Amino acid sequence: MRRKIIVKLLFAGAMLAGISNSFAQEVKENNQEQFGEFINRKGTFTRSASGKPNVGYWQNKADYQIAVTLDDQAHTLSGNITLTYTNNSPESLDFIWMQMEQNRFKEDSRGTLTTPVQGNRYNGDTDGGFDVTNLKAKVGSKGSVSSKYIDSDTRMQVWFNEPIPAKGGVATVSMDFSFKVPVEGMDRMGRLEVEDGWIYAFAQWYPKVAVFDDIEGWNVEPYLGAGEFYLEYGNFDYKVTVPYDHIVVGSGELLNPKEVLSKELQNRYAAAQKSDSTIMLITADEIGNTELTRPKQDGTVTWHFAIKNSRDIAFGSSRAFIWDAAKINLPSGKSVLAQSAYPKESDGQEAWARSTEYSKASIEHYSSMWFEFPYATATNVAADIGGMEYPGLNFCSYNSKGAGLWGVTDHEFGHNWFPMIVGTNERRYAWMDEGFNSFINHYSTLAFNDGEYPSALNETRRYLNFFTSETREGIDTYPDVVNVSNLGMLAYRKPAMGLLMLREYILGHERFDNAFKSYIKEWAYKHPQPTDFFNLMENVAGENLSWFWQGWFYGTGNIDLGVVSVIPYAGNYVVVLENKGDMPMPVQMEITFEDGSTELKMLPVEIWQRGDTWNYLLKTDKKVKSVVVDPNKILPDINLGNDSWPQDIYEK
């Protein structure tokens, strides 16, 4: 620091004495450690250096047929599943691993044993877990049947009597299963009792195959809490049998409305599919009127759903649902259905009566701006869950209202793009779904109803306490490892701010949007890694951003740009800039002249390659009044005191 001060004093003295008419930059070897590539991002046979899936890219496929029955007296779900698994990998497989996430709700589960004594958001009941019987596994249509499997916490290894052949071999696994539905379901599922009955939110409710990929082989991290999901794509056909007076809403398309809805309800359902405004399917006053809304008055009814090219399914069931719906208009000219299911405790124009309006606006915005929504329905379900997303279906808090309900609805529907369409590994890289989604939420919120609700993502300097905290961690910290108090910043806000800086400050809208849309298109229904994202963004945007990925996504350093002085020079001015932060950044300056006019200048990040100060020659015949760095305050610059010249200290 002493050496920097001496250099600046000599520099200013030379100017005042007229000794030199040249400006020597501060002497330093270079800043190449900030600009060099520290991540191995070379292309492979499966993933190209341009960020696209390469000629050898493969992923396995998982198709499911499921039939379950809900017992709302014992609060259990039971049924059977048949998984058809296609091994597209270049190696044969002797076994597969399956995710058994209901086993998290056991007293001796790893998730339970790693939950702090004081608890956290991911509290869960401990008297549940899967009961599996009648497991049968075979390769091909004529293979011998194996019943061998090993339970390991929230994973199950299923063995075959012969390997599943590489490059297209097919195996099937079937089993019966049941579990007790938890009340506290880790804020992702469970059941809630309201005046008119129980609301069941079913997620992580069936055994599902783990991902086998070209990066890790089998991805078998246990389900602990903060880490979410990483799943294969396939087609789902599932049937849910419930008491006759229940309404069921689920991922995908309802295939048998004539069998589960009364004639009156069928008519309303059809009308909603053609209406841009919300149509009431079941009103608050009609909740108990089963003769009007149900096709039978006793026993059970089976609801049949299907969804294609999906990575998961979820559903809600209750006799307490108000139900409404409206049409979603997609850019291709197609339309799908937005619908909401909620109890009368959540009703009201300030609350869930606007849920379908919010849902429709959210899906239409993302479809228009980024990539078209691919599923038949977008369903919002009120439950005792803060907010959790599944393909085409959300669970959101039944207590949410106004801006809060818009925010959680929009956020959970945004997850249909990340990670439902772009199938990232949430259990390892929470920032690739939560952060990317928080970023697109910013623009959907600005667009909704001419800005009815605010978005504060661009107010990055509100979070300087985190950026200067000694306990801050890097974005790349795994969600199950990160300090719980840091999770919101590391998974959501900081990566979203990173994309905001790229779009609003570094690349501009056109270059960023071209690259981001290309990333979604190229990796739709596939499994990108962080390096795939970095490579693709650089290749399409035409910019080496290694310094940015390294500094923002893989470090804990901060931004601190400043204006040291503005010195008259040969009829012009020299603006002396400094980078006191841990990472470089382009410098946008707003120059204000004595006549009131202003001028924006953008200096590239490369000015910092050889040192931490830069002298910019401002050619002008006007008198400079002030200079401000980052005038729109996009950057979370941790030092507000050196952003402008003149500074108050010099004016006194």
Return the structure tokens found at 543: 């910019």
Of 96, 170, 97, nearest in space to 139 by CA: 170
- Ramachandran region, residue 293 (left: φ > 0; alpha: ψ -120 to 50; beta: rest): alpha
What are the 10-residue block averages of pLDDT along the chain, 652 residues in total? 39 39 49 78 96 98 98 98 98 98 96 88 93 98 96 97 98 98 97 98 98 97 94 98 98 98 98 98 97 97 98 98 98 98 98 98 98 98 98 98 98 98 96 98 98 96 94 91 91 97 98 98 98 98 96 94 97 97 96 97 96 97 97 96 83 42
- Domains of the chain, first to last: 60-232 (2.60.40), 257-297+318-423 (3.30.2010.30), 453-553 (no CATH), 561-645 (2.60.40)
**What is the predicted pLDDT for the residue at 36?**
75
Distances (CA, A) of 189 to 105, 347, 385: 11, 21, 7
Is 0.85 topped by the overall pTM?
A: yes
Closest listed residue to residue 155, CA positions, set 205, 79, 219, 217: 219
User: According to the model, what pLDDT value does residue 20 have?
Assistant: 38
Amino acid at 516: F
If one counts every other C-beta atom within 10 angstroms of the C-beta of residue 345, the result is 19
Q: How many helices and strands in the chain, by DSSP H and E?
A: 16, 31
Q: In angstroms, rounded to a whole number, what is the distance separating the alpha carbons of residues 89 and 96?
A: 13
Residue 648's pLDDT is what? 66
Q: How far is CA 2 from the centre of its chain?
A: 46
Q: Taken in order 482, 488, 491, 497, is the CA torsion positive or negative? A: negative
